[in-house]
Amino acid sequence: MRIPISNQAVIDLDAPTLPAYEVYDQYVRWVVYCKHCQLWHTHSPAEGHREAHCHDPCSPYRKRGYNVALRGPWTRFYFGRSPEDL
């Protein structure tokens, strides 16, 4: 079930929520770690539901997507590591 959280965003109550980390490069974006393909994926900086960028064809994220919620700023410490390793 999708619930509006703003004029432009929704959350999907049936989809998981992943922590997002804010990255400042040429523009602001959020990154989330996918435990299925073990990669960090980028999204626009706003909380709500996203379509999955997962490369694993068996990932449940591909069917339902996921919600993103800001956890905090990105640091170099995260590069190449999953949030579970931190």
Q: Where do runs of H (alpha helix) occur along 1-86?
A: 61-64
Task: Kindly report the pTM of this predicted structure.
Answer: 0.80
* Alpha-carbon dihedral sign for residues 52, 58, 59, 63: positive
Structural domain count, the chain: 1
Give me the pLDDT at residue 15, please: 93
**Tens digit of pLDDT at every position of the chain (86 positions):** 887 787 888 888 999 999 999 988 788 999 999 989 888 899 999 999 999 988 898 999 988 999 999 998 887 655 556 666 55
Tell me which DSSP letter residue 53 carries. -
Domain with 18, as residue range(s), is: 2-85
